[in-house]
């Protein structure tokens, strides 16, 4: 059985967006994302949730259509009552600010469904080493083992 990966919207956005000319760091992340998608994704079962689809709909209609095409081809995980409860706990004790509701839901859905990995470029509220211990602790206190939260760069073969 292949390892499972929850794909957060920042990965979908970098995958489908025009390569940045203004921000070299973003351009590198886009390149890494495309490389991961082209060379590594086949080794994983890929999942998203309605939260990803909702975020993918935002913004420029043409860009949103490209994001939604990627999202529609992936397996959907349900936002269960347990995921909503865990998200609330992550906002309360997990170090996530109140405005990071969608980010807490990404973590909670991936955790409740037992994903092996949560793939993201959101290093402010999700792949953030400062809050990661708190997030993992809250997940475990609620009876769940959290996924490995990482960027596409970290999920490349050595």
Query: Can you say how many angstroms the Cα of residue 19 is from the centroid of all Cα atoms in its chain?
Result: 20
Tokens of 10: 């920042």
On whether the CB atoms of residues 131 and 122 are closer than 8 A, the answer is: no
79-109 pLDDT tens trace: 999 999 999 999 988 789 989 999 999 999 9
Largest CA distance in the chain: 45
Residues of the chain with pLDDT under 70: none
Model pLDDT, residue 92: 84
Model pLDDT, residue 137: 96
Helices (H), the chain: 9-16, 24-39, 50-56, 61-72, 81-93, 101-112, 129-141
Model pLDDT, residue 94: 78
Model pLDDT, residue 121: 97
Average pLDDT taken over every residue of the chain? 95
Of 89, 79, 141, give the one whose Cα is nearest residue 110: 79
In the chain, the domains with their CATH numbers are 4-155 (3.40.50.1010)
Model pLDDT, residue 95: 85
Q: What is the Cα–Cα distance from 92 to 133, expressed in whole angstroms?
A: 14
Model pLDDT, residue 10: 96
């Amino acid at each position: 059985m292949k390892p499972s990966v929850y794909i957060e919207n920042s990965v979908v956005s970098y995958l489908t967006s025009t390569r940045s000319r203004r921000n070299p760091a973003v351009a590198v992340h886009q390149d890494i994302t495309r490389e991961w998608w082209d060379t590594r994704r086949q080794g994983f079962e890929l999942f998203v949730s309605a939260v990803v689809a909702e975020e993918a709909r935002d913004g420029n209609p043409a860009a949103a259509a490209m994001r939604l095409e990627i999202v529609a081809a992936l397996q959907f995980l349900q936002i269960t009552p347990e995921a909503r409860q865990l998200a609330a706990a992550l906002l309360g004790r997990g170090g996530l600010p109140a405005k990071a509701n969608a980010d807490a839901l990404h973590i909670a859905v991936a955790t409740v469904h037992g994903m092996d990995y949560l793939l993201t470029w959101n290093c402010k509220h999700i792949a953030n080493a400062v809050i990661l211990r708190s997030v993992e602790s809250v997940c475990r206190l609620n009876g769940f083992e959290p996924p490995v939260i990482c960027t596409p760069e970290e999920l490349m073969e050595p």
